[in-house]
Amino acid sequence: MSIDDESFLNLETDEAAVAKFLAENGGDLMRDDRTEGGADRGIYWLTIRPRPVPTERFLARLEWFAYPYQAPSIKFVPAIRGSITTSSAWPLMTGYRPGSFDICRPMCHEGYTTHPEWRQGSTGWPTEGNPFLWVVQTMQFQFDNDYQGRST
């Protein structure tokens, strides 16, 4: 599924700040360059690492549906376009559930689907500023402060 033109342009505007932040933290960002029928402009691959264990690297697949209006789906994969059901690709952290292949936190599609009450108040999805950067900064904070190892 490809995103609409407005979402694509909004992502394109915000992705430079995300790439810069990731690079400053030893990570990387790549927009998907091919899927069946052409590029899926709503999928990004990001490499992220926990500062306490800089040799560890995790590859996350972020899929946007309507940016900046909806949270992305976040899945960890062993390789670009790899299986989203590989538990060893997942970090062990609070709310990150390798057995369910989802993140149960108010920052992603899966979290808001599991807990619709999070859509209101202080846990609501932020549509102002750069939500893409907010998601990645939130993930980096969690990796830096709550990382407990790699799932098996």
Is the bond into 50 cis (omega within 30 degrees of 0)?
no
Question: What phi-psi label fits residue 14: left (phi over 0), alpha (psi between -120 and 50 degrees) or beta?
Answer: alpha
Token pair 């360059």 is found at 33
Determine the pLDDT at residue 38. Answer: 52
Determine the pLDDT at residue 40. Answer: 76
Determine the pLDDT at residue 1. Answer: 58
Query: 18: helix, coil or strand?
Result: helix
Determine the pLDDT at residue 32. Answer: 87
Output phi, psi for 20, to 5 deg.
-65, -45
What stretches in the chain show pLDDT beneath 70?
1, 34-39
Determine the pLDDT at residue 41. Answer: 85
Determine the pLDDT at residue 132. Answer: 98
Contacts of 71 (CB under 8 A, 6+ apart): 107, 108, 109, 111, 112, 125, 131, 135
Determine the pLDDT at residue 2. Answer: 76
Question: What phi-psi label fits residue 37: left (phi over 0), alpha (psi between -120 and 50 degrees) or beta?
Answer: left
Structural domains of the chain sorted by starting position, each given as residue range(s) with its CATH number in brackets: 5-146 (3.10.110.10)
